[in-house]
Amino acid sequence: MIPPAEIAGLSAEIAKRMKRSKLAIPAGVSVKHCHLTKEHFKILFGQNAEPKRVKDIKQPGFYAAEECIDVKGPKGVLKKSASSRPTATTPRSSSPPPTPSRSA
């Protein structure tokens, strides 16, 4: 059960963000970010490292952190993928969709 004080805090945060948003429904797009578990964050940035908040994002309670990683996959490297906070239960990455190519 979520404590009433936490619900009130989240409600206030949502109201604040909706007031500054130009849209009736807040929406945000981030095509290059990752969600790290606490364990993976500590492995990558050090056991005593704590994420440094850069800015709030549209999703209440979440923020973009200063820490970035490069994500290497079969089609190349996605440089400087920003870490989204708070920590995730499973690590995952979001990237832009591939650019369509035309066959000759």
Angle, vertex CA 82, rays to CA 36 and CA 53, nearest 5: 85
Q: What region does 44 belong to: left with phi over 0, alpha with psi -120 to 50, or beta?
A: alpha
Give the Cα separation of 75 and 58 in Å (integer). 30
- Whether 81 is in a domain gets the answer yes
Which comes out higher in pLDDT, residue 28 or 71?
Answer: 71
Which comes out higher in pLDDT, residue 102 or 63?
Answer: 63
Structural domain boundaries, residue 58: 28-94
Give the Cα separation of 17 and 26 in Å (integer). 8
- Whether 69 is in a domain gets the answer yes
- Whether 60 is in a domain gets the answer yes
Q: Give yes or no for residue 53 having a pLDDT over 60.
A: yes
- Whether 3 is in a domain gets the answer no
What is the average pLDDT value for the chain, to the nearest integer? 78
Which comes out higher in pLDDT, residue 22 or 81?
Answer: 81
Question: What domain count does the chain have?
Answer: 1
What pLDDT score was predicted for residue 102?
A: 46
- Whether 89 is in a domain gets the answer yes
Which comes out higher in pLDDT, residue 90 or 48?
Answer: 48
Highest mean pLDDT among 16-25, 42-51, 55-64: 42-51
Q: Give yes or no for residue 34 having a pLDDT over 50.
A: yes
Give pTM, 2 decimals: 0.57
- Whether 11 is in a domain gets the answer no
| Cβ-based neighbour number of residue 84 at 10 Å | 21
